[in-house]
Amino acid sequence: MPYVSNEEAKAAVQGRTSPQAAPGRIAKALDSDLFHSFLKSRITVAAACGTLILFLLAFLAPWVAPHDPFDLASISILDARVPPVWMEYADPRFLLGTDDQGRDLLSGIFYGMRISLIVGFCSVIAAAMIGITLGLVAGYMGGRVDAVIMRIADVQLTFPAILIALLIDGVANGIFGTLDREIFAFYILIVSLALSFWVQYARTVRGSTMVEKNKEYVQAARVIGLPSVVIMARHILPNVMGPVLVIATINLALAIVTESSLSFLGVGMPPTQPSLGTLIAIGNDFLYSGEWWIAIFPGLALALLVLNVNLLGDWLRDALNPKLR
Amino acid sequence: MNVLDIKDLTVEFPSRQSVFVAVDDVTLSVDAGRILGVVGESGAGKSTVGNAVIGLLQEPGHIAGGEIYLHGKRIDRLPYKQKRLMRGRKIGMIFQDPLTSLDPLQTVESQLVETIRTHLPMSKQKARARAVELIDAVGIPDPAERIKQYPHQFSGGMRQRVVIALALCAEPELVIADEPTTALDVSIQAQILKLMKKLCEERNVAMMVITHDMGVIADITDHVAVMYNGKLVEYGETGQVLGMPQHPYTQSLISAVPRPDIRVERFPVVNYIEAARTPQKQIDISTHWLGKARDYKKVTGPLVRIGDLDMRFETRGSVFPSRRKYFQAVKKVSFDIEEGETFGLVGESGSGKSTIARLITGLYQPTGGSILFAGTDLTSLKNRRDVLAMRRQMQMIFQDPYSSLNARMRVREIIAEPIRFHKLASGNAEVRRIVDDLLDHVGLGTAAGQKFPHEFSGGQRQRISIARALATRPRFLICDEPTSALDVSIQAQILNLLKDLQEELRLTMLFISHDLAVIRQMCNRIGVMRNGELCEVSECDRLFEAPQHAYTRELLNLMPSMELLSRANLESV
């Protein structure tokens, strides 16, 4: 057989087995190999459920949280450092206890998770946009453009994410002054995370682009006369998005962890808008004085979140990788 | 007694939705010193038969019924270890692609010695001597020296010889060759086939050759089995099956093979396969969009005029010009293409014919020479608007229907893109109507527009490619091996479609192929290329009847003998 691609084999299979009625879009998605590989892996289903629950709790925090940790009127310093309900001296209003300012820890975790996730998503999207654009341009143009972009990427890789974040934070503080920190902290975090994560996207997209650009459909587009920008955006981009999706999922977990580390170090979210990292940082001060719950519960929440997202990412990587199927 | 006996073999591939029967109740046998050909189109299950015999069925495929005997001993139920010992020792295998079936990190000698010593109790010295002997037997000159080399130091044909030596090294009783010459050029194909036939007779080995190529079957096989959709439709002596095919599938398959000896107006279409094809809607070209506004500048003289075209690729870059290395893909090529004619370029792989196509369409910039299209030198155009105007007039159809369509776009979008980009229609409604007409015209039906490319077979995809190429209303169409990835029956349909479209739209065509028979059917004039140079340009019939250049004569001689096929055709016509 001169050319037997998967598609052809598949077409032959479909031709010889009973013809199926044309299913709708949802039915098609439910019948796809991807969905079946999803159902087959129990751990993935569990991870997906866990992720969904955590996301819901985080994004519906104002409605599901028993207290509003940002409402100064409702918190009282008298409630500070109350232990979880199953311990002595507990207060039934605070399921997991309170922190040093009397804020309900459970509500704090929900709100903190929300901030962590928003920062995570935004930085992943920003990093992906920078990385995909540069990767596409580098891979498609080749030559000097490629060399310059990839050398920048190499240099970028020599700096750890935390160092870049500290640098940007320092520069931002110099420009805006510490006064506006609370407003800008969020954006500074996203910029610094995006700047440290774009390289991976750029490298992956560049590699796939170099494969795709030699395929005949790209040459056909060039014969039609389409300009390079259109070819890159409309023809190559959709064909290199598979691996990007996988990186983005795994990077989301990484971004959340990095954000938490930064907040823990004090260059991330301020204590007035605590993310999970900030909560752990606050709890860290009380770890040795016996108030372990302030650090442990946000830490557990962080671990759960990252684990679930990572498991999903791993499955996606395997499911989309034709070599492992 | 027969060496190989296959009785009622059924191979199934269970999948999530259903069970796919790849081989359905096939009974075959091969005798020592004989060659059995298994022929069929892609998906017919012919390779699966070979894999089942050697015990290398791909998961989740399994033998669901039937028996396989080697010298009267049943082999399909053997435990894994014995099957492994049988492979190589009793059954040798020759694969399609000689580039990937040898280990690139081991010398030819060590691969041969390893295989010999795995199967035969021999000292290293003796095994080495035997390896040299084998390399000599497969016709590699200077065997004692060449055996020390690595696979990459051999050419494709030489590598396939090494693969044959590997298959023979443990004196197997049966050799299975799966498309042994498909990846090779015609000239090498002829040599390899001759070698296989010779070795089979000399060593009294039974051979099973799996191929899609009727020429190979006619050339070397004693018996032939024709497979269609997993079933054995015809089985008998080669001369009889090809000369007087009984089954309608065999008849149509044979009649669809392009013939180098006679030129026919249209290819006989194999209606056995794609019977349910949507009929073409007739379009009145004089009033339709496709025919309208063909306001191209009239040209005096040839439409395309190529003069001293030169193209070299840098194979090693360096800051110093003197240290750079180049590969000269096209050397001082000149030819003209008259308006309305089909000009054929024929040559073996690496002869530079595809490079010329890419130079004309502007995918590559030539390093020298000129390309005159309708009087304008394309290499001198700098203004983007002028370039676009020229690009619109010429389109290209690519070889591989699987990579030439963007998998993420709907067919309707693929075809509409050039129309929108060149602003050839006013408004979405008109674009849509044109796309529907185009799809209809290439025989796909308007419903195809909603689908994605992967929902189509190879031949259907090539129709989509043709529709896309027509969407800019070109006057010049370049076809770069448009059918070499397709089965013969589909090839006939696509070639007919191209012929029809050319007549209807008065297209000028540059038709590139390695297949002389196809070239003869399609072209008015033919250029023969070798190593980047144009050897000969001649009228179609004159080239075949009175070739001038020595290389052309060589090419013509090396075509697989079609005598058997020709006889069959003459009787059926």
Distance in angstroms (rounded) separating the CA atoms of residues B496 and B488: 12
User: Mean pLDDT across the stretch A45-73?
Assistant: 86
- Min Cα distance B94 → chain A (Å) is 14
Give residue B97's pLDDT band: very low, low, confident or very high (50, 70, 90): confident
Put the strands of the sheet holding B231-237 in their side by side order. B73-74, B62-70, B4-14, B19-30, B231-237, B223-228, B35-39, B206-211, B174-178, B91-94
Contact check, Cβ <8 Å, A8/B361: no
User: Mean pLDDT across the stretch B199-227?
Assistant: 90
Whether residue B404 is predicted with pLDDT greater than 80 in this model: the reply is yes
Please, are residues B212 and B32 in contact by the beta-carbon 8 Å criterion? no
Span A269-287, pLDDT tens digits: 887 788 888 888 888 888 8
Give residue A19's pLDDT band: very low, low, confident or very high (50, 70, 90): very low
Chain B residue with CA closest to A9: the answer is B43
Q: Considering CB atoms only, which of B16, B230, B358 is closest to A36?
A: B16
Contact check, Cβ <8 Å, A4/B42: yes
- Min Cα distance A3 → chain B (Å) is 6
Reading the block at residue B572, the tokens are 């059926």
Contact check, Cβ <8 Å, A238/B408: yes
pLDDT at A74: 76
pLDDT at B356: 92
Cα three-residue angle A186-A190-A195, rounded to 5 degrees? 150
A242 to chain B, any CB pair closer than 8 A? The answer is no
| Beta-carbon contacts of residue A165 (< 8 Å; ≥ 6 apart) | A188, A189, A192, A193, A196, A258, A262, A267, A268
pLDDT at B571: 44
Per 3-state DSSP, chain B is made up of helix, strand and coil in percentages (nearest 5) of 40, 25, 35
pLDDT at A278: 85
ipTM of the shown complex: 0.77
Contact check, Cβ <8 Å, A13/B15: yes
Share the mean pLDDT of chain B.
84
Match 């397709």 to its residue by tokens: B486
Query: Which residue of B417, B419, B450, B488 is the best one to mutate when testing the A interface, meaning the one whose CB has the most A CBs within 10 A?
Result: B417
Whether residue B277 is predicted with pLDDT greater than 60 in this model: the reply is no
- Min Cα distance A77 → chain B (Å) is 59
Give residue B294's pLDDT band: very low, low, confident or very high (50, 70, 90): low
Instruction: Give DSSP secondary structure letters for B361-416.
Output: HTSS--SEEEEEETTEEGGG---HHHHHHHHHHEEEE-S-TTTSS-TTS-HHHHHH
Give residue A52's pLDDT band: very low, low, confident or very high (50, 70, 90): very high
Question: Which of B61-70, B274-283, B370-379 has the least mean pLDDT?
Answer: B274-283
Reading the block at residue B346, the tokens are 């024929």
The upper half-sphere exposure of residue B351, i.e. CA atoms within 13 Å in the direction of its Cβ, equals 18
Long-range CB pairs of A7-13, under 8 A, 24+ apart, other chains included? A7/B402, A7/B454, A8/B42, A8/B43, A8/B402, A8/B457, A8/B458, A9/B43, A10/B454, A11/B43, A11/B455, A11/B456, A11/B457, A12/B42, A12/B43, A13/B13, A13/B15, A13/B20
pLDDT at B414: 92
A8 to chain B, any CB pair closer than 8 A? The answer is yes
Contact check, Cβ <8 Å, B404/A4: no
Alpha carbon of B18 to those of A216, B22, B209: distances in Å?
34, 12, 30
| Beta-carbon contacts of residue B427 (< 8 Å; ≥ 6 apart) | none
- Min Cα distance B19 → chain A (Å) is 8
Contact check, Cβ <8 Å, A12/B42: yes
pLDDT at B72: 86
Share the mean pLDDT of chain A.
82
pLDDT at A20: 43
Q: pTM value?
A: 0.79
Please, are residues A276 and A302 in contact by the beta-carbon 8 Å criterion? yes
pLDDT at B484: 82
Distance of CA A166 to the CA centre of its chain: 20
- Any bridge partners for residue B232, and if so which? B227
Whether residue B570 is predicted with pLDDT greater than 60 in this model: the reply is no
Give residue B272's pLDDT band: very low, low, confident or very high (50, 70, 90): low
Span A175-207, pLDDT tens digits: 776 666 677 788 888 888 898 889 999 999 999
Contact check, Cβ <8 Å, A215/B361: no
Distance of CA A168 to the CA centre of its chain: 21
Whether residue B253 is predicted with pLDDT greater than 70 in this model: the reply is yes
Q: If DSSP codes are grouped into helix, strand and coil, which group holds residue A80? A: coil
Contact check, Cβ <8 Å, A7/B422: no
User: Mean pLDDT across the stretch B543-553?
Assistant: 88
Span B281-291, pLDDT tens digits: 556 666 666 76
Give residue B560's pLDDT band: very low, low, confident or very high (50, 70, 90): low
Contact check, Cβ <8 Å, B472/A36: no
Number of A:B CB contacts under 8 A? 115
Whether residue B7 is predicted with pLDDT greater than 50 in this model: the reply is yes
pLDDT at B282: 58
Cβ atoms within 10 A of the Cβ of B127, count?
21
| Residues in chain B closer than 8 A to A4 (CB atoms) | 42-43
What percentage of residues in chain A have a pLDDT greater than 70?
A: 88
Task: Please classify residue B79 by burial: count the beta carbons closer than 10 Å to its beta carbon, then call 0-12 exposed, 13-18 middle and 19+ buried.
Answer: exposed
Is A123 or A162 the better-scoring residue by pLDDT?
A123
- Any bridge partners for residue B306, and if so which? B335, B371
Give residue A7's pLDDT band: very low, low, confident or very high (50, 70, 90): very low
pLDDT at B396: 92
Whether residue B280 is predicted with pLDDT greater than 60 in this model: the reply is no
Contact check, Cβ <8 Å, B465/A220: yes
Please, are residues B203 and B164 in contact by the beta-carbon 8 Å criterion? no
Is A92 or B7 the better-scoring residue by pLDDT?
B7
Q: Considering CB atoms only, which of B19, B21, B404 is closest to A216?
A: B404
pLDDT at A314: 85
User: Mean pLDDT across the stretch B461-471?
Assistant: 90
Give residue A10's pLDDT band: very low, low, confident or very high (50, 70, 90): very low
User: Mean pLDDT across the stretch B234-257?
Assistant: 86
Question: Which of A269-283, B103-117, B165-179, B460-474 has the least mean pLDDT?
Answer: A269-283
Match 């300012």 to its residue by tokens: A101
pLDDT at A324: 47
pLDDT at B374: 84
Contact check, Cβ <8 Å, A238/B472: no
What percentage of residues in chain A have a pLDDT greater than 90?
A: 24
A71 to chain B, any CB pair closer than 8 A? The answer is no
Contact check, Cβ <8 Å, B457/A224: no
Give residue B235's pLDDT band: very low, low, confident or very high (50, 70, 90): very high
pLDDT at A236: 93
What percentage of residues in chain B have a pLDDT greater than 70?
A: 91
A21 to chain B, any CB pair closer than 8 A? The answer is no
pLDDT at B565: 54
Distance in angstroms (rounded) separating the CA atoms of residues B5 and B96: 24
